[in-house]
Amino acid sequence: MSTRFWQSLPFQTGCSIALGSILLTLVLSISVYNSTVETVIDDSNHRISQLISTVEISAAIAAYLENNELGLDITRGLIRNDIVSGVILHSESGMRIISGSPFHFKDNDVLLFPLVSPFMADEKVGGLFVKPNQNNIDAQAKKTAELHVVTLAVHSLMITLFVIFLVNSRLTKPLMKLAGALHKIEPGSDERLQYPKQHMNDEIGLLVRDINQLLGSAKNTLEGERRLREYVETLEKQTRKEAERDPLTNLLNRRSGERAIAKALKKSEADNTRCAILLIDLDRFKPINDTYGHEAGDQTLITIADRLTNTLRKSDIVIRWGGDEFLIMVRQGHSDLKINVVAEKILQALAADIAINDTVRESIGASIGISLYPEHATDSALLFDLADKAMYRIKRSGRNGYSIHEPAGMKSQA
């Protein structure tokens, strides 16, 4: 979450500005120094001109009279000024008076002041060569330039600090706050970023608005996906159910019923319990189908299935075996398996009248064949077969009854 200081926006911005201002200061310093030197030289020359104008008449007299004493007095006086390093006073007829450090009068920086006769303005009597004090000029230029550079540097430093402060307070802090707030928001939740008060209408406000829009659309997307997943799950469950169940009666179909029975037999073997297979064939279903139509037939089957389910325990397996055949597996509970009682109950349930339509009620009745595990067989296919045979026996002998397989060929009839 936290950024290292030297990677932070204020520091980087500050560094850039500092670097820029250092470069600028350097470049400016050079030009400032050069222009300062020029200014100082101009200033010095101006002061020298003023200085010379005060001694001009005396110098002219000295040159006019070739008076060494007066000339020396003037040149010595001149070099006492720290802006002058050397002076030559010469006259037209050859007098030369030199004071201060020696120099060549043809040097670039040497100033020449011509002297005219004090009495005849058109007569040139000599001149003053003045060498400005370079050290003084340099020192003064340096001092002024240094002041400029220090001012510039302080200025740059102040601006840099101010920009760092501004970037920090106006940009980084709100951004960090946003980042922190965004970090806490769970994708897909209803939480949104708060608009920072000072940044309602600037880029940060815009960013918050966009982020909130993004959060909103992320939420919608996630929700859509969740709904889709739920839908797929429901669909899968339904498909599985449809594969296992008979669509009309919602009982187990034959295939999944066989599987359930095989599983139950294995469990009985392990638990050493008993089971019974009851194969039920409806006695008067076909005439109803023929007389009142398939819809009435379907309705009848649904009613029969409901009655079977209601009559039996939850742990018993009820299968639509095919057409108007049902197969039931009854398992031994805590007490002994009383198959006769069960069979009687089923017969009773199926014998009751069924409302075909508003006016007609019919009793269907059923024939039940029963085989027992493990007395008759342990193999499910064989158990089915034995039950089937027992059921046919009852059908032949008058219907609406049950028959338990008799291995010894004995007959039992209800």
Which positions touch other proteins (CB under 8 A)? 58, 61, 64-70, 73, 118-120, 123
Smallest separation (angstroms) from other proteins to the CB of 120: 6
Rg of the chain, C-alpha, whole Å: 61
Cβ nearer to other proteins, comparing 70 with 386: 70
- Asked if 318 and 305 count as a contact pair (C-beta separation under 8 A), the reply is yes
Smallest separation (angstroms) from other proteins to the CB of 67: 6
Smallest separation (angstroms) from other proteins to the CB of 125: 9
Cβ nearer to other proteins, comparing 64 with 402: 64
**Residues with Cβ < 8 Å from 383, sequence gap 6 or more?**
277, 371, 373, 376, 377
Of 115, 79, 81, which Cα lies nearest the Cα of 99? 79
The two structure tokens encoding residue 325? 């055949």
Cβ nearer to other proteins, comparing 43 with 73: 73
Cβ nearer to other proteins, comparing 43 with 92: 92
Rounded CA gap, 376 and 382, in Å? Answer: 9
Of 293, 276, 265, which Cα lies nearest the Cα of 343? 276
Angle at 208 between CA 202 and CA 214, to 5 degrees: 140
Smallest separation (angstroms) from other proteins to the CB of 25: 54
Smallest separation (angstroms) from other proteins to the CB of 85: 26
- C-alpha 170: how far from its chain's center? 23
Positive or negative torsion for Cα 204, 205, 210, 215 = positive
Cβ nearer to other proteins, comparing 56 with 385: 56
Smallest separation (angstroms) from other proteins to the CB of 51: 18
Cβ nearer to other proteins, comparing 65 with 110: 65
Cβ nearer to other proteins, comparing 118 with 205: 118
Smallest separation (angstroms) from other proteins to the CB of 65: 5
Alpha helices in 168-275 (DSSP H): 173-184, 203-244, 254-271
Positive or negative torsion for Cα 66, 69, 70, 75 = positive
Rounded CA gap, 190 and 43, in Å? Answer: 76
